[in-house]
Amino acid sequence: MTWRALAIALVSACGPTATSTVCKEPLIAGDLVITEVFSNFQATGGGADAGREWFEIYNASDRPLDLQGLRIVHSRPDGSQAQSHKMRQIAIAPGQFFTLGNTTQDRVAPYVDYGYSTDLGDLYNDAGGKLALQCGAAEIDSATYDHVKVGHSRELSAANPPDYTFNDDPINWCEGKDSEFEAGNFGTPGQDNDCVPVISGQCNDSGTPRDVVPASAGDLVITEVMPSPTKASDAVGEWIEAKAIRDVDLNGIGLDRASDSAQPDIITSSDCVHLTAGTYVLFAKSPDSAQNGGLPAGSVFGTFKFSLVAGSAAAPGDVRIVAGATVVDSITWTKSVGGKALQLDPDLIDATSNDAESNFCNATASYGLGDFGTPNAVNGQCALLPPAGKCDDNGTLRAIVKPAAGALVISEIMPNPKVEPAQEWFEITNTGAAAFDVNELGLDRAGDTRVPDVVHSAACKSIAPHGFALFARSADPASNGMLPAVDATFGFSMVNSAGDVRVLDGTTVLDAVTWTTSTDGVSSQAKPGSLTTTGNDASANFCPATSPFGDQTNKGTPKAVNAC
């Protein structure tokens, strides 16, 4: 006896259940499977979706089913804005695909079996929706749909027989494109689906599978956050904006907070969610402009469930974009104003500059319902940022102090941490007699084609004599191995062998070191007698670190005297 037959036998043996008192027939999870959704009709002569939206279910049981009393619920993917319809008496045969449309029964199209009128509202054309089949409190099946293209259905892949767990994963859905059921409209209402599944690591690009273009560190830069909206509640009004530095796909990208224990909210789609270089993308608590404070319609590419915090010195706010174990970008803040987004100055859009909170300012332009920000658009200039060549020294504007010749020395490198690349870093020491600033210095590799990562900070980043500065791939302690406070980040890779790193003032090389090999999880430290810009040129003048630091994963003495 199969598990399904056993379940049916148990229902019969035990008599009526709570489910059977609601639905005419006792249904169990998986008896019905949602297999196709058509939400955006292509009207060749103009017109709307009225009477032309539909979705399809499949009888996966081994018997005819009377659907009387079955409750259909349509909502946003998070369950909000739910509307429902209770089905009239109608039978569906085992193995039958059954189509339900948004019109009255007397006006259904030839390919529609059942009309639910306007009870479910409009099926969504953007930001996704969810359909659920319920008998009382028991869910028989549910499925979400997203990335709708006008005139094309969203189909459950025909790679496997219809199954109520198989349709839970968005990767198993694809675009109906081969069968035209009305002029200009594609799908398979009441029939086997015909779309091709997309394999892992690929996405469907207008019907053609291709490899996902992944995001690396710095490819997406967080440019704006709204931690405390006032025209919408925090539960639906918070949002994050990022800008693409190069072409990437958002498939697999996660939104996360380093300071909580929740898993990242991942963008899952079988279709390629492509972002071209120079364009902005919004992530929000709600995709619905009527709820989220009036964000531009159709601009939200992904949603998140965690809460952004206002931020304080004791409890900073934070958010990051991740791709698997890679932190693509992250920011923190210690203060924000209700109803005003924190905006990165538009002249400082890179993954190094947005590590400095001083490069952000409160938005002054209003959007939507009246909160302040520029979602999905260029930020306003931050009026209080110092001009080029100057920095803010605790409220006093002064000229940036450049290092004296030979004063800036690279004193420690970690090219081969236990977790790459997030835990890579290097340290400089001020060996001179006077303090200098690291503002506007460039961090670079001679052995790659990247432009240097320039340290942009409104605040003066001063290094006292015998003091240290730390540059790392990530400023996030949860990612970088619990380093001390990072002074600036860089986007290049510190390769494990035949590597190099250098610090520039414009095109002038202030100091550079090279290495031929490295030890996993162990930094290389310049010996005390070799802390000069020439002494650190020789590999023999470096020694391996012996003391663990931070989370004890790696060995080194970041921002401390070397222990050779």
Cα distance between residue 124 and residue 308, in whole Å? 27
Residues 390-417 as b/e (b if ≥16 CB within 10 A, e otherwise) read: bbbbeeeeeebbbbeeebbbbbbbbbbb
pLDDT of residue 10: 33
Going by C-alpha positions, the residue among 528, 531, 527 that lies closest to residue 541 is: 527
**Average confidence (pLDDT) over 67-90:** 94
Whether residue 150 sits in one domain with residue 44? yes
- The pLDDT confidence band at residue 387, using thresholds 50, 70 and 90, is confident
- The pLDDT confidence band at residue 147, using thresholds 50, 70 and 90, is confident
Residue written as tokens 């469907």? 204
Phi, psi of 239 (to 5 degrees): -155, 165
pLDDT tens for each residue of 217-250? 889 999 999 999 999 999 999 999 999 999 999 9
Cα distance between residue 126 and residue 300, in whole Å? 9
Q: Are 336 and 319 in contact (CB under 8 A)?
A: no
- Inside any domain, residue 139: yes
Which residues, including other chains, have CB under 8 Å from residue 78's CB and lie 6 or more apart? Answer: 286, 303
pLDDT of residue 157: 87
Neighbours of 280 (CB within 10 A): 19
Decide if pLDDT at 127 tops 90. no
pLDDT of residue 3: 34
Cα distance between residue 314 and residue 317, in whole Å? 10
pLDDT of residue 177: 80
pLDDT of residue 178: 79
| β pairing state of 97-101 and 114-115 | parallel
Going by C-alpha positions, the residue among 221, 220, 201 that lies closest to residue 211 is: 201
**Dihedral-angle region of residue 262 (phi above 0 means left; psi in -120 to 50 means alpha; beta otherwise):** beta
Decide if pLDDT at 337 tops 60. yes
DSSP 217-239: TTSEEEEEEESS-SSS-HHHH-E
**Dihedral-angle region of residue 352 (phi above 0 means left; psi in -120 to 50 means alpha; beta otherwise):** alpha
- Inside any domain, residue 317: yes
Secondary structure (3-state) at 14: helix
**Average confidence (pLDDT) over 45-70:** 84
pLDDT of residue 434: 97
Whether residue 275 sits in one domain with residue 320? yes
Decide if pLDDT at 18 tops 70. no
pLDDT of residue 304: 93
Which residues, including other chains, have CB under 8 Å from residue 215's CB and lie 6 or more apart? Answer: 248, 249, 250, 253, 321, 323, 326, 328
Whether residue 227 sits in one domain with residue 375? yes
Report H helices in 375-438: none
**Average confidence (pLDDT) over 363-367:** 95
Q: What percent of the chain has pLDDT over 90?
A: 67
- Inside any domain, residue 390: no
List the domain range (segments joined by +) for residue 120. 3-197
The number of CA neighbours under 13 Å toward the Cβ of 490 is 25
Decide if pLDDT at 446 tops 80. yes
- The pLDDT confidence band at residue 484, using thresholds 50, 70 and 90, is very high
Decide if pLDDT at 5 tops 70. no
pLDDT tens for each residue of 169-191? 888 888 888 788 988 899 999 99
Q: Nearest 10 degrees: CA dihedral of 511, 517, 521, 523?
A: -30
- Inside any domain, residue 202: no
Which residues, including other chains, have CB under 8 Å from residue 417's CB and lie 6 or more apart? Answer: 423, 424, 425, 481, 520, 521, 553, 554
Whether residue 238 sits in one domain with residue 317? yes
Whether residue 229 sits in one domain with residue 140? no
Residues 244-263 as b/e (b if ≥16 CB within 10 A, e otherwise) read: bbeebbbbbbbbbbbbeeee
**Structural domain count, the chain:** 3
Average pLDDT taken over every residue of the chain: 89
Whether residue 329 sits in one domain with residue 264? yes
Whether residue 232 sits in one domain with residue 378? yes
Whether residue 239 sits in one domain with residue 150? no
Whether residue 7 sits in one domain with residue 139? yes
What's the distance, CA 349 to chain centroid? Answer: 18
- Inside any domain, residue 334: yes
Going by C-alpha positions, the residue among 461, 445, 465 that lies closest to residue 453 is: 445
- The pLDDT confidence band at residue 17, using thresholds 50, 70 and 90, is very low
CATH code of 45's domain: 2.60.40.1260
Decide if pLDDT at 20 tops 70. no
- The pLDDT confidence band at residue 44, using thresholds 50, 70 and 90, is low
Decide if pLDDT at 197 tops 70. no
Decide if pLDDT at 46 tops 80. no
pLDDT tens for each residue of 246-280? 999 999 899 999 888 888 998 877 788 999 999 99
Is the peptide bond between 421 and the residue preceding it cis, with omega within 30 degrees of 0? yes
Decide if pLDDT at 45 tops 60. no
Decide if pLDDT at 457 tops 80. yes
pLDDT of residue 383: 78
- The pLDDT confidence band at residue 7, using thresholds 50, 70 and 90, is very low
- Inside any domain, residue 286: yes
The predicted model scores a pTM of: 0.57
DSSP 318-378: EEEEEETTEEEEEEEES---TTB-EEE-GGG-STTGGG-GGGEEE--SB-TTS-B--TTSP
pLDDT of residue 318: 95
* Rounded to 5°, angle at Cα 427 from 534 and 391: 105
DSSP 154-203: EEE-TTS---TTGGGSGGGEEE--S-EEETTEE--TTS---PPPPPTTEE
Whether residue 426 sits in one domain with residue 285? no
Phi, psi of 159 (to 5 degrees): -65, -30
Whether residue 475 sits in one domain with residue 425? yes
Q: Are 36 and 42 in contact (CB under 8 A)?
A: no
Decide if pLDDT at 19 tops 70. no
Counted residue by residue, the chain has a size of: 564
Decide if pLDDT at 325 tops 90. no
Whether residue 431 sits in one domain with residue 370? no
CA distances from 324 to 67, 207, 282, 444 (A): 43, 26, 20, 25
pLDDT tens for each residue of 412-428? 999 999 998 889 999 99
